[in-house]
Amino acid sequence: MEFLKLSTDEGVAIITIVRPPANAMSQVLVKEIDEALNTIEVDSSTRVVVIHGEGRFFSAGADIKEFLSVPNIEQHAKEAQAIFERIESFEKPVIASIHGAALGGGLELAMSCHLRYVSKTAKLGLPELSLGLIPGFGGTQRLPRHVGAAKAAEMMFTSNPILGEDAVKWGLANAAFDEEELLEATIQIAKKIALKSPIALKATIDMLAYSKTDRFYTGINEEAETFGRVFSSEDAKEGITAFVEKRQAVFKGK
């Protein structure tokens, strides 16, 4: 795999995102996550999965520049949604270990994991509206489930991220650690979970899925379609151009 490293430690599979400088969620990287899950799924010695990022970030977002060359952006969103849905329903617990930043597609990946542990100073947010876009990888549906509708609206409307410690307070993360302690603390929790019965763990994951109503899946599908429509607007073109040129976007509502 080009952008991932896969290792194991006492029943814990560790997926490391390696795509400097920001570990951005490109099409290839998202598909490689799916490939890593294929490997882990058939390995009976692996009981728990940890996903983390190498370098400065967990993942600072989707690859915005790549969006300009994607032939069908709606289909791209649906493919990413399907892989993230696979993570949430994966038969083995999946844990995100978040340092630096989990923004945009990076946070959408993290929210699809069963558990999230963060560094105290990590930044978590969905800043897509600052680009004239909306979250397209499940963010509009998963964020309100964790932090409530009002806080989710505030985070998306303002594009302001929240810090790791606040993410714990809002229910977006399970616990916060000093950055230098985060990964080891996450792996130790994963090892404790790995001692549980795989049958009981899978059954619990299956039961947790019943908390998601049919409206969730309707919303996920509508999100992808709306993402495609919004992406074709003049405002989206302005937002992406401004991002690339590192200037303030000027939106006209067209």
211-221 confidence digits (pLDDT tens): 998 999 999 99
Q: So what's the pLDDT on residue 64?
A: 85
Residue of 2, 108, 223, 245 marked active site:
108
For residue range 21-62, list pLDDT tens digits in order: 999 999 999 999 999 999 999 999 999 999 999 999 999 988
User: How many structural domains are present in the chain?
Assistant: 1
Contact 203, 196 (CB under 8 A): no
Please give the pLDDT value at position 7: 96
pLDDT of residue 69: 85
Euclidean distance between the first and the last CA atom of the chain, given in angstroms as a whole number: 40
Residue 229 covered by a domain:
no
User: Do 100 and 60 contact (CB within 8 A), yes or no?
Assistant: yes
In a domain, 202, yes or no: no
Q: Is residue 224 part of a domain?
A: no
- Model pLDDT, residue 220: 96
Q: What is the DSSP string of 60-124?
A: --B-HHHHTT-S-HHHHHHHHHHHHHHHHT-SS-EEEEE-SEEETHHHHHHHHSSEEEEETT-EE
* Nearest-angstrom CA–CA distance, 10 and 159: 39
Tokens at 133, concatenated? 């876009």
Which range of residues forms the domain containing residue 123?
4-180
Residue 199 maps to a domain: no
Q: Which residues on neighbouring strands pair with residue 5, listed in sequence order?
A: 16
Residue 210 lies in a domain: no
pLDDT at residue 124, as a whole number: 98
**pLDDT of 28:** 95
Is 128 catalytic? The answer is: yes
Which segments of the chain have a pLDDT < 70? none
The answer as to whether 87 is a domain residue is yes
236 is a domain residue: no
In the chain, the amino acid numbered 147 is V
In a domain, 238, yes or no: no
Q: Please give the model's pTM, rounded to 2 decimal places.
A: 0.96
Q: Is 108 a catalytic residue?
A: yes
Out of 128, 154, 184, 234, the active site residue is: 128
CATH code, 159? 3.90.226.10
